[in-house]
Structure 1
């Protein structure tokens, strides 16, 4: 974070002498950094971006209600009960998970009516799970940790400007953009980890669905983004979806995801904008079952997936208007859920952070 703070200070030092409102670029020309596919480019322009995203999860819920570890291991049935070495109830309980992702992006506009886009993600996850001893009871045996990492599903496609592009010399305008992107099954769905069983045995198991870096399917990723500028204020709305096609080689399909965002930004000066955003998300259940994912843990049951959530986020955008960093952009956005309704038991989110750099040529 010190590096990002230094970068923000450098951008500020290159912009303090600029006028109050722009004659070329504004910090709010781009949406908050947590919003993707919000803008297009003019013919011949290229833009590179690098985003870092961090997310923390802890605790468990069923619906909107919290549930304790002891309640999970004594009352929630094990889907695989009756199979060899499978107890009647869940015996492994996730305690926390963190996820770090780096997303490399590129955009190129061969013509004013189309901007090509591509995104390459790399993620690392860390999960801590508590194992309870034996087939019943509330005696804790111990904890273990899993740390999957790898390249995720690469996305590529295009963004089309449906309604105008705000003139660089104007402080008012409206844009409407359509994203048509496909997610390719380049991420792994077969990662394994060492686990601690209720019988105190170290076992190598295929990790559950949410700990894999890929979906295993070709996914459609449409988005529709509306932005409007009015002096120092700007506003935006976006729908973004992830629609799975078919079933992957392991016999399942992740749930579709539908997400809507509304935001407002204020421009104190040309080089900086402050934003507030509300995001609502609905995720479907996993369809199917990976026969290699089996165990007395909630994350192995596809029925315990999906749900709804609402997040509130605040952000800041910087843009250097002249000097050695002219055209470089830095965005920061941090937020937390205010509503979560899950098909539980599931772990729930605590907070998330996105920091990103962008530069067009």
Structure 2
């Protein structure tokens, strides 16, 4: 966390100083060109980043896919053989549990469909709701017996369903033609399933049906709050933004564990290349805590079943585009793609790799 915050401070200062200086040069650009800007909304991967005028509605749809592959402990990459022969199994000594991790995740793909709605009862308050639907797919390699590097085979687990629904509000603090500052606060309800099961290949060659480990569950099983704050500044042909958003769990799951809190900071720079098109570059920094407690039904010789192997720190760069046709300014199409450039994980854990987000927004 200290390294991540230091990196963030340097990034924010590097981006903010020139933006604040140049932003004053464009202080009257909205009076010269009152047409909608494609960069009036942040890159599509940033949530709760804009407010609306009184009486305005917006519906949105996002599709996101994230790929994870390879394993890392701290900042060091680990092979599957190293994990299977050198990483202690938290559950060693219990019936059927080998001394080391004998099941190793190789890759994971997570897809998310997100429906969103926003409505502003006043210029200062915007209400929002988000409904996610998730599909997760993870491939594993199982090693035979309790030691050695003999591979027994591979298997795949899949989970799919509704995620945790959130309801919240955004409150404008500053709202001028050239800069905007607002806070946000959402309540996240445990609507997603946290008891998903699947058939696995165990090191003894059996194929039992077990409760899936924590990363494969679609819900957290607990209530959470999501505080945030967003600042955006406009110049005549470009804009800059900075956002903090946290996910803080305020209750335990029924099984007796609590997800680790997540803190994210992101900053973006967007340039208008045409009246209807803007391009953006974004940096996102994230820190996630380990899980506290344990689900007694999740016990397996695999890293994803260990509550102490869930957290870490990550930095991601993303490039995006917003398209808002001049002939139909109520519609906006957006795309953003990114890659995790640095991660320090409480591993072994799968590394995050690529991410793609596509979205459509309609306002009236």
Show the counterpart of 1:5. none
Alignment of 1:311-350 (within 5 A): 311-322=316-327, 325-350=328-353
Aligned to 1:254: 259
1:26 aligns with 2:37: yes
Q: Is 1:223 the equivalent of 2:228?
A: yes
Change in Cα spacing, 1:165 to 1:147, as seen in structure 2 (3 Å) is farther
- Name the residue aligned to 1:278: 283
Q: 2:102 aligns with which of 86, 91, 107?
A: 91
- Match of 1:187, SS? coil
Distance 1:136 1:69 in 2: 13
SS at match of 2:85: helix
1:339 alignment partner, SS class = strand
Matched, 1:307 2:312: yes
Residue number among 28, 43, 55 corresponding to 2:66 in the alignment: 55
Instruction: Give the Å deviation of 1:22.
Output: 4.3
Q: Displacement of 1:23 after TM fit?
A: 2.4
- Confirm or deny that 1:353 pairs with 2:341: no
Tell me the equivalent position of 1:128. 139
Farther off after superposition, 295-304 or 22-31: 22-31
RMSD of aligned alpha carbons: 0.9
Aligned to 1:114: 125
* Match of residue 297, structure 1, among 302, 320, 328: 302
Name the structure 2 match of 1:77: 88
Equivalences, count: 333
Counterpart CA distance in 1 for 2:228 and 2:336 is 20
Match of 1:142 among 148, 153, 157: 153
Report deviation, 1:24: 2.1
Q: How does 1:199-238 map to 2 (within 5 A)?
A: 199-238=204-243
Q: Which residue matches 1:10?
A: none
Secondary structure of 2:308's partner?
coil
| 1:287 corresponding residue in structure 2 | 292
- The Cα of 1:231 is off from its aligned counterpart by 0.7
Cα 1:165–1:54 change in 2 (3 A) is farther
Task: Kindly indicate whether the alpha-carbon contact (under 8 Å) linking 1:321 and 1:327 is maintained by their aligned counterparts in 2.
Answer: no
Distance 2:115 2:321 in 1: 20
Unaligned ranges ≥5, structure 1:
1-20, 167-172
Partner of 2:14: none
With the length of structure 1 as denominator, give the TM-score of the two structures.
0.91
2:27: which partner in 1?
none
Gaps of 5+ in 2: 1-31
**Contact 1:99 1:125 survives alignment (8 Å):** yes
Structure showing the higher helix proportion among its residues: 2
Counterparts of 1:175-190 in structure 2 under 5 Å? 175-190=180-195
Aligned mates of 1:165, 1:29 — CA distance in 2? 13
CA–CA separation in structure 2 for the residues paired with 1:162 and 1:60: 43
1:340 deviates by 0.5
SS state at 1:147 partner: strand
- 2:200 and 2:210 in contact (8 A); partners too: yes
CA distance in 2, matches of 1:77, 1:145: 23
Contact preservation (8 Å) 1:298, 1:345: yes
Aligned to 1:18: none
Residue 3 of structure 1 corresponds to which residue in structure 2? none
Deviation at 1:165, TM superposition (A): 4.5
Instruction: String of CA shifts for 1:3-49, please: whole Å, max 9, x gaps.
Output: xxxxxxxxxxxxxxxxxx84220000000001011111111111000
